[in-house]
Structure 1
Amino acid sequence: MKTLPVVLTTLGAVLCAPWAHAQDAHSEHRKQAEAAQPAQPPSPYAGMQSRPIKALSARQVADLREGKGMSLALPAELNGYPGPSHTLELANQLELSDEQTLRVKGLFAQMKQEAMAAGEAVIEAEQALDELFKNRQATPDALKAVTARAALAQGQLRESHLRYHLAVADVLSPGQIATYTRLRGN
């Protein structure tokens, strides 16, 4: 009679094996289905909440402080008004005279100085806007004042870059401007 428990155990194992296999297969199928599901995309704002100024990346702050163009002068650049920085980069191909080179270098230095100061004003205005919300002090009137200050700072920065494109166009000949435009791919 000792064989009856062995037979029952064996029979139980044989009968349960397909069920256990089905459970394993179901579990594996569920894992595959979960893996096949696209992951929830991260928030487009992920990581921005830890920025010192929420609306500006570290790169943007650095570019503003360095007086970089940040594509602010595209209306001039793409309509045949060379910028001072790129004009100096292309000085040999443009065959700038010594006088032209000195004038463009002077314009570039002035633009850089103005742009750095204007960039600081943009940073300060964006910081004030960020602080307004961070400190829960945003009211319609306060918001209007701070956004107007930020818009004015951004406008002054852009105007300074654009103004120097006008000044460089006055230094170059029409042929040099045409060459500049061709070399820049405009």
Structure 2
Amino acid sequence: MRSVPLVVGLTLGVAVVAVPAFAQSGHGHQHSGAPEAQAHRRVDAMQKEFDQVVADGRGFGLAFAADQNGYPGPLHVLELKDALGLTPDQEARVRALYQAMLADARPRAARLAAAEARLRAVFATGTADKAAVSAAVADTEAARAALRLAHLGAHLETRDLLTEAQRRSYQQLRWGPPSRP
């Protein structure tokens, strides 16, 4: 359950760091560029998947810090409702919270997508300078922060709907046994 977002997130992170370093290294000889092109296509595909998931209102790791540290998200609680032993009232409340989070997150996600498009356009139009890039990045990161807050807020509220025993069970089911220092 936890492996898909984690693997995709880690893969995207590694690809974003590794691809530029690989492309710049040159490896001491000339080659066709095919490996770099394939890597760029994989990163592009992952970025498109991220964009689609976020546009749908889902978090795709935006609330990972909360989920990993005892603040479960509503979607995952619903996925684990039987294992957690949710009461019908809890399930209804978590479901309502999830729907409210989606309704809040989708317009915020649209603002993030528009801000990202504006940032790309600054470069695509050849008008990039320090001021234009700074403004576009500030706009993009403000939109990302607003979206992330929508997801983190849902995690805060979800936690309050669960008993302490359900929170412990969730943590065990999603993240395994606690690690020892």
| CA distance in 2 between partners of 1:56 and 1:128 (Å) | 20
2:56 counterpart (66, 71, 74): 66
Structure 1 residue 183 corresponds to structure 2 residue 176? no
1:57 counterpart (32, 37, 47): 47
Percent identity, please. Answer: 32
Aligned match of 1:125: 115
The alpha carbon displacement at 1:57 in A equals 2.7
1:86 counterpart (72, 76, 86): 76
Aligned match of 2:40: 46
| CA distance in 2 between partners of 1:97 and 1:128 (Å) | 46
TM-score when scaled to structure 1? 0.71
* Structure 1 residues without counterparts, runs of 5 or longer: 1-36
Indicate conservation of the 8 Å contact 1:169/1:177, yes or no.
yes
* Structure 2 residues without counterparts, runs of 5 or longer: 1-28, 177-181
Indicate conservation of the 8 Å contact 1:121/1:153, yes or no.
yes
Aligned match of 1:166: 156
SS of residue matched to 2:83: helix
Letter in 1 for 2:40: A
| Bigger Rg, which one | 1
Aligned match of 2:26: none
Letter in 2 for 1:46: H
Structure 1 residue 135 corresponds to structure 2 residue 125? yes
| CA distance in 2 between partners of 1:46 and 1:72 (Å) | 23
Runs of 4 or more off by more than 4 Å in structure 1? Answer: none
The alpha carbon displacement at 1:40 in A equals 5.8
Indicate conservation of the 8 Å contact 2:122/2:128, yes or no.
yes
The alpha carbon displacement at 1:113 in A equals 1.4
| CA distance in 2 between partners of 1:126 and 1:56 (Å) | 15
SS of residue matched to 1:46: helix
The alpha carbon displacement at 1:181 in A equals 0.7
Indicate conservation of the 8 Å contact 2:68/2:175, yes or no.
no
| CA distance in 2 between partners of 1:56 and 1:136 (Å) | 26
Letter in 1 for 2:36: S
Indicate conservation of the 8 Å contact 1:84/1:165, yes or no.
yes
| CA distance in 2 between partners of 1:180 and 1:109 (Å) | 20
Whichever structure has more helix as a proportion of its residues is: 2
Matches within 5 A, 1:107-122: 107-122=97-112
Q: CA RMSD in A?
A: 2.4
Letter in 1 for 2:77: T
Cα-to-partner distance string for 1:31-82 (whole Å, 9 max, x where unaligned): xxxxxx9x7662266348xx7xxx9832122112111211111111111111
| CA distance in 1 between partners of 2:49 and 2:101 (Å) | 20
Indicate conservation of the 8 Å contact 1:64/1:123, yes or no.
no
Letter in 1 for 2:125: N
